[in-house]
Chain A
Amino acid sequence: MNTTAPAPAPASDSAAARMRGVGLDLSGLHRSFGATRALAGFDLSLAPGELVALLGPSGCGKTTALRIVAGFDTPDQGTVSLDGKDLTRLSAAKRDMGMVFQSYSLFPHLTAAQNVGFGPRLRRIGSAERDRQADELLELVGMAGMGGRYPHQLSGGQQQRVALARALAVRPKVLLLDEPLSALDAKVRLQLREEIRRIQQEFGITTLFVTHDQEEALSMADRVAVMRAGSLEQCAAPAELYDRPATAFVAQFVGTMNHLSGQIIEAGRVRVAGRELPVDGPCPTVGTKVKVLIRPESLDLAAASAEAGTAESAGAGQVLMATFLGATTRLTVRLGDGSEAKADLPSHRASEFPVGSRVDLIPAPRPVLAVEDADDTAEG
């Protein structure tokens, strides 16, 4: 596991006056459902005002962790504390946390304004003040003038905006977002994630955000916590997570990753595609056959150097497919050993390598992750 210093989101003066984030600590959380272990010693700390995304494959325990923080579930072991105060056994109703659910969960018999005013109503705030707050929050989430509409009269994106306003109306110490964008179409999702981030920063509210969409996590969060099988693999800022994945799982899960065959030639150095590169992190023993993990944007191409009929270099291959992505084009290359590699090139350069052309892979001269080749180990 690798964690880096959190980067709290800036809060504007006015927003900070209204709401201020607090630190949230999850320590040694264990939770099993029968024989299924959902959490196995999960630790995570959120700094005040920070937005952390819990990212991981289905069944990795991210929703279980969120529900334990919300108080909807109780851990078998471990604690949840807010600013040092243990909340583990405190009822969900008393935790001062606002939650936005995946499927909106607005109360269908109440208007948008009444939904937003529901929490304040339970807190016995007068109707005039409730209405004022609801109007203010609905305006904040871009729903001004729609307070009188019922949920069935709103689109999915609009309902989720109201759900966000409702969660904020109780001035929560922590905001919990349970895949809030997954039910929305791509365009609305993009728009709403920017707005959620803007509002979170404006309020300076500590936020835990569950998602299985890595693009969402990387674009919104101060830090991304990658989970696997109930525990934390790595928690780091998006750029660090992408550039310096701590484990092979993180490297494979976040972004696209090539697995090129290589061999450790000396301590801390690996030979791959005919080049020698420094190894980042733990390095297998000299002579070990490894898989070298390289991002598509860290691969360049050159026209094949070998003449027809002569021996090809280790990084030689043939362009199989070109996928236009706008500014860049992803070229899929079949290598001599039958494996495939993906290289992202500026589109104007990619046109130099039409499908079928012979090319040489050129890895960028920067440290790479090298993991023991499982196939080779099995054979050996």
Chain B
Amino acid sequence: MARSGKKLGAWGAVLPLLGYCAVALGLPVWALIWEGIQAPDANGVNHFTFSNFTTSWHGVYLTGMLSSLRLSLLTAVISAVVGLVAAYAIAQSRGRLLKQAVLTASGVLANFGGIPLAFCFVATIGTGGVFLSWLNDAWPSFQLGTFDGLVVVYPYFLVPLMVLTTLPALDGLRRQWREAATNLGGSAWQYWRYVGGPLLLPAALGGFVLCFGASFAAYATARALSSGTVPLVTTQIASVLSGNVLATETNLGMALALNTIIVCGLMMAVYLPLRKRSAKWLES
């Protein structure tokens, strides 16, 4: 009796959060699904159809999806590698102050996407900036508003995200594990191969998946820098939703948005078990 009362109490405590999630996440998703499976006929009356989803996987929209996946994969790989190395360097540092400063900065920078980041690049680098001039010498075709430009810009908010995700795991690696491995005859390489690497893998993969998702869902930075010339799912959604040529494109935008949610949902489905496993190992 007392136990079931406790359970009810626990559920009661999370009710406000569940309510918020239902309103802020559940309703919009439901609206996306509802709008995505409808299209107006010649008289403007909505009817049920899968045509929006079919269209969203063909032609320019398929190109946009593939381009988004390619950009996300590329920037996630770069950010995961750079972020992991940076996080390792920070974890090895003995300065607690430095560690806290980097963590705080990462927390801010991981959210430093969008217009502010694009503005920083344009303002400090710009089309005639020193950095861009230097980059153009080595890479003549490079421009900020292209796919390659986005590959350079995205890691500025993805690397801090990777640092934030993996630093706790790196901090969780105990010195005694390394000493135990050494004591049992292991070299530094064998320690990373059999102990450190496997222990970090879930956190590193989790960080990569998060970077992938964050890159896939990024809109404002790409929009501000490329003005929609780089075909990406997010910029396409904005185009069809703000377009005034065809009314049916609103429903297509909903279908595209739902595709994005599905990709990000898949990323979270991969990330959460990895995060749980990492925590079980490193916090036990």
Q: Which residues of B contact A91 (CB under 8 A)?
A: 182
Determine the distance from Cα of A123 to Cα of B194 in the docked complex, in whole angstroms: 13
Whether A118 touches B194, Cβ cut-off 8 Å, given contacts A105-B176, A107-B177, A108-B199, is yes
| Chain B residue at minimum C-beta to C-beta distance from A121 | B194
Determine the distance from Cα of A244 to Cα of B194 in the docked complex, in whole angstroms: 50
B184 contacts A by Cβ under 8 Å: yes
User: 8 Å CB contacts to A: which residues of B266-284?
Assistant: 280-282, 284
User: Which of B7-15, B185-193, B226-234 contacts the other chain?
Assistant: B185-193
**Once the chains bind, are A122 and B174 in contact (CB under 8 Å)?**
no
**Once the chains bind, are B198 and A99 in contact (CB under 8 Å)?**
no
Q: Which residues of A contact B281 (CB under 8 A)?
A: 108-109, 152
**Once the chains bind, are B284 and A108 in contact (CB under 8 Å)?**
yes
How many residues on B have C-beta within 8 angstroms of the other chain's C-beta atoms?
Answer: 21
**Once the chains bind, are B198 and A118 in contact (CB under 8 Å)?**
no
Chain B proximity mask over A97-110: 1 for CB below 8 Å, otherwise 0: 11101010101110
**Once the chains bind, are A92 and B190 in contact (CB under 8 Å)?**
no
**Once the chains bind, are B190 and A99 in contact (CB under 8 Å)?**
no
A187 contacts B by Cβ under 8 Å: no
**Once the chains bind, are A109 and B180 in contact (CB under 8 Å)?**
no
**Once the chains bind, are A99 and B179 in contact (CB under 8 Å)?**
yes
Chain A proximity mask over B129-154: 1 for CB below 8 Å, otherwise 0: 00000000000000000000000000
**Once the chains bind, are B194 and A92 in contact (CB under 8 Å)?**
no
| Chain A residue at minimum C-beta to C-beta distance from B201 | A109
| Chain A residue at minimum C-beta to C-beta distance from B277 | A109
Q: Which residues of A contact B187 (CB under 8 A)?
A: 93
Chain A interface residue number, banded: 20 to 34
Determine the distance from Cα of A70 to Cα of B182 in the docked complex, in whole angstroms: 10
**Once the chains bind, are A101 and B181 in contact (CB under 8 Å)?**
no
**Once the chains bind, are B185 and A94 in contact (CB under 8 Å)?**
yes
| Chain A residue at minimum C-beta to C-beta distance from B188 | A93
| Chain B residue at minimum C-beta to C-beta distance from A152 | B284
Q: Which residues of B contact A97 (CB under 8 A)?
A: 183
B25 contacts A by Cβ under 8 Å: no
Determine the distance from Cα of A103 to Cα of B175 in the docked complex, in whole angstroms: 11
A166 contacts B by Cβ under 8 Å: yes
Q: Which residues of A contact B182 (CB under 8 A)?
A: 71-72, 91-93
User: 8 Å CB contacts to B: which residues of A148-181?
Assistant: 151-152, 166-167, 169-170
Q: Which residues of B contact A169 (CB under 8 A)?
A: 184
Closest Cβ of chain A: how far from B204's Cβ, in Å?
Answer: 14
Determine the distance from Cα of A109 to Cα of B281 in the docked complex, in whole angstroms: 6
B262 contacts A by Cβ under 8 Å: no
**Once the chains bind, are A70 and B183 in contact (CB under 8 Å)?**
yes
Q: Which residues of B contact A71 (CB under 8 A)?
A: 182-183
Whether A122 touches B177, Cβ cut-off 8 Å, given contacts A108-B281, A108-B282, A109-B198, is no
B105 contacts A by Cβ under 8 Å: no
**Once the chains bind, are A101 and B176 in contact (CB under 8 Å)?**
yes
B195 contacts A by Cβ under 8 Å: yes
**Once the chains bind, are A105 and B185 in contact (CB under 8 Å)?**
no
**Once the chains bind, are A99 and B282 in contact (CB under 8 Å)?**
no
**Once the chains bind, are B280 and A152 in contact (CB under 8 Å)?**
yes
**Once the chains bind, are A119 and B176 in contact (CB under 8 Å)?**
no
The residue among B180, B182, B186, B282 with the most chain A CB atoms within 10 A of its own CB is B180
Whether A101 touches B180, Cβ cut-off 8 Å, given contacts A107-B195, A118-B194, is yes
**Once the chains bind, are A105 and B177 in contact (CB under 8 Å)?**
yes
**Once the chains bind, are A166 and B184 in contact (CB under 8 Å)?**
yes
Chain A proximity mask over B256-270: 1 for CB below 8 Å, otherwise 0: 000000000000000
Q: Which residues of A contact B181 (CB under 8 A)?
A: 107, 118
Whether A72 touches B179, Cβ cut-off 8 Å, given contacts A107-B195, A108-B281, is yes
| Chain A residue at minimum C-beta to C-beta distance from B184 | A119
> B184 is contacted by which of A103, A151, A152, A170 (Cβ under 8 Å)?
A170
Closest Cβ of chain B: how far from A322's Cβ, in Å?
Answer: 44
Q: Which residues of B contact A98 (CB under 8 A)?
A: 183-184
**Once the chains bind, are A122 and B176 in contact (CB under 8 Å)?**
no
Q: Which residues of B contact A166 (CB under 8 A)?
A: 180, 184
Determine the distance from Cα of A109 to Cα of B185 in the docked complex, in whole angstroms: 19
Closest Cβ of chain A: how far from B123's Cβ, in Å?
Answer: 47
| Chain A residue at minimum C-beta to C-beta distance from B186 | A122
**Once the chains bind, are B180 and A99 in contact (CB under 8 Å)?**
yes
| Chain A residue at minimum C-beta to C-beta distance from B179 | A72
> A107 is contacted by which of B180, B183, B185, B190 (Cβ under 8 Å)?
B180
Determine the distance from Cα of A72 to Cα of B176 in the docked complex, in whole angstroms: 11
Closest Cβ of chain A: how far from B202's Cβ, in Å?
Answer: 9
Determine the distance from Cα of A180 to Cα of B174 in the docked complex, in whole angstroms: 17
Q: Which residues of A contact B195 (CB under 8 A)?
A: 107, 109
Whether A92 touches B177, Cβ cut-off 8 Å, given contacts A119-B184, A122-B190, is no
Determine the distance from Cα of A249 to Cα of B78 in the docked complex, in whole angstroms: 61
Q: Which residues of A contact B180 (CB under 8 A)?
A: 99, 101, 105, 107, 166
| Chain A residue at minimum C-beta to C-beta distance from B183 | A99
| Chain A residue at minimum C-beta to C-beta distance from B187 | A93
Q: Which residues of A contact B190 (CB under 8 A)?
A: 122
A-B contact pairs, 30 of them (CB 8 A): A71-B182, A72-B179, A91-B182, A93-B182, A93-B183, A93-B185, A93-B186, A93-B187, A94-B185, A98-B183, A98-B184, A101-B176, A103-B174, A105-B174, A105-B177, A108-B280, A108-B282, A109-B195, A109-B198, A109-B281, A118-B184, A118-B194, A119-B184, A121-B194, A122-B185, A122-B186, A122-B194, A152-B284, A166-B184, A170-B185
Closest 7 CB pairs of A and B: A119-B184, A105-B176, A108-B281, A152-B284, A99-B183, A92-B182, A105-B180
